[in-house]
Structure 1
Amino acid sequence: MIQSADIREWRDHDVVDPKGHKVGTLETIYVNTSTDEPAMATVRTGLPTRQRLVFVPLDQAIVGPGYLKVAYAKKQVRASPSIGTDGVLPAEGEEAIFQHYGLAYHPGTGGERKLARR
């Protein structure tokens, strides 16, 4: 598993899909609140004047020299739920991200958020 401290060092590096196509630029890491392990990343995409942050799971992610390779195709990542470049993920938006990637979503037993920004 990629350690949270390690992956933060890759901020502003390219994020590529399994075929090596550039998806965007790594912006930030979200960890699973129950394990404190990296779970999702936000990727800056779009034109310089109209950028947004899309979410991509970090399961099976590989760190290479100057890039982060994710296990999801560029098209799927770019179609994922997004926020503005200075936005914050609302708690009610978490489940949609997991559903987009076909992943199970289980908030904390007290309804706590599953993701926290690091």
Structure 2
Amino acid sequence: MAKTMQPQELIDSAVVDPAGNKLGKVGNVYLADATHQPEWITVKTGLFGTKESFVPLSGAHTDKDGVHVQVDKDAVSDAPRIDADGHLSPEESTQLYQHYGLPVPRTSPDGRMGDRTQGRDPAMGGRGRAGMDAGTRGKADKDAMTRSEERLNVGTEQVETGHVRLRKYVVTEEQQVTVPVRHEEVRIEREPIKDGQRGAEIGEAEQDVVLHAEKPVVSKESVPVERARLRKETVTDEQTVSGKVRKEQFEVTDDEGKKHRRS
């Protein structure tokens, strides 16, 4: 590492893998017993940072955008799940070293490994967020009370809402159309006999004339007028959902039962 990393500076820093993926934020810092230098960090992952995964600081460096480690996101996601309770057993340490392909350090005569002390910086006097040893951290955790609350996780799912069918059927309706028609009529045309024309003999005669008339003729034919088909389209609107969630509150009372503070 280019410079000595201070545990108090690492807490809550962003953790970035070699590909630039942000893995989460630093939760705890673990120091090596032999050098008292940061050797492991826990990264808060999962929804709301509820999970912590151990990540080695071997080859890591800090930058303005966080801590750049030498292991990728998949390796961190698949890391063994070990409780970040301020103490690593030799078996847990060996399991982590082997997972990341790192050489396992030799144990001291008392069986301790170099990464079992959690985040204590001599300059901090054993205090601070990253400055508790395993015993102090264990006692603090034992005396602490965790407040939890429920949160709404809202998403969407696709459900079937119904069926739509397109069907054609036949209806009969009455139509009236006005059509102009022609017919023939008879009229007598008279013209006078001019002088000098020979007269006809008197007698009976007749003339037959055929009359014609037009009449409406109705016929039907089927012609296409339009085409129709069903097509689905997706529209987006907004719906408001609500739900009741529970959360815990802290309340401090004295021996007389007086409430001093709620949060």
Task: Tell me by how many angstroms 1:20 deviates.
Answer: 0.6
Partner of 1:107: 107
CA deviation map 1:9-50 (0-9, x unaligned): 1311210100110111111211111121221111111112x7
Say if 1:61 and 1:70, in contact at 8 Å, map to a contact too: yes
Instruction: Decide which moves more: 108-117 or 39-48.
Output: 108-117
1:55 paired with 2:60, answer: no
What is the alpha-carbon distance in structure 2 between the residues aligned to residue 88 and residue 117 of structure 1? 5
* Structure having the higher Rg: 2
Task: Give the deviation of 1:82 after TM superposition.
Answer: 2.6
Q: CA deviation at 1:102?
A: 1.1
* CA shift for structure 1 position 110: 2.5
Give the gaps of 5 or more residues in structure 1: none
Q: How far does the alpha carbon of each residue in 1:34-72 deviate from its partner, in whole angstroms, 9 at most, with x for none?
A: 121221111111112x72111111111121113111011
Deviation at 1:84, TM superposition (A): 4.3
The residue correspondences of 1:1-80 to structure 2 (distance < 5 A) are 1=1, 2-5=3-6, 7-48=7-48, 51-80=50-79
Determine the structure 1 residue equivalent to 2:146.
none
| TM-score normalised over the length of structure 1 | 0.84
Bigger RCO (CA 8 Å, 6+ sep): 1
**Structure 2: unaligned runs, 5 residues or longer:** 120-263
Measured in 1, the distance between the counterparts of 2:81 and 2:24 equals 13
Match of 1:117 in 2: 118
| Whole-angstrom CA distance in 2 between matches of 1:4 and 1:84 | 23
2:37 and 2:13 map into 1 onto residues whose CA distance is 20
Matched to 2:118, the amino acid is: R
User: Which structure has the highest strand share of the two?
Assistant: 1
Which is worse superposed, 106-115 or 39-48? 106-115
What is the distance in 1 between the residues matched to 2:53 and 2:87? Answer: 10
